[in-house]
Amino acid sequence: QVQLVESGGGLVQAGGSLRLSCAASGRTFNIHTMGWFRQAPGKEREFVAAIAWSGGSTYYKDSVQGRFTISRDNAKNTVYLQMNSLKPEDTAVYYCAVDASGTYYRSRPWSYDYWGQGTQVTVSS
């Protein structure tokens, strides 16, 4: 129904910046929320940030608020995650996700219907 492709990951030193992009295609008219999650080796997938497609309200994990900024371009069906002041604990595979059903629980992985394949972010100390 919806296909997602992430890009922009890479290797960066602590304190550096990266900008992730996620392009959606398919039945994008059903998008209610787009979010970013991340998963480090041996850990569960965790919420990072989300943005409502209509209105643009944003939501962040507490530990990234003030450092990360989520934004979207509705015309391009693309969501971005600007990551500044990166820390080693930010190292993970970052996944883009789409909620097509309009759930209240934006920080929960099970609220999302479609997922990208992920892009690796590695922050060295």
Q: Is 78 exposed, middle or buried (0-12, 13-18, 19+ CB in 10 A)?
A: middle
CA separation, residue 87 to residues 11, 12, 28, 64 (Å): 12, 9, 33, 10
Mean pLDDT in order along the chain per 10 residues (125 residues) = 95 98 91 96 96 94 97 94 98 97 89 96 97
**C-alpha count within 13 angstroms, C-beta hemisphere, residue 29:** 0
Q: What is the pLDDT of residue 1?
A: 83
Find the helix or strand (DSSP H, E) in which 71 lies.
strand 68-73
The two tokens of residue 64 are 């990234």
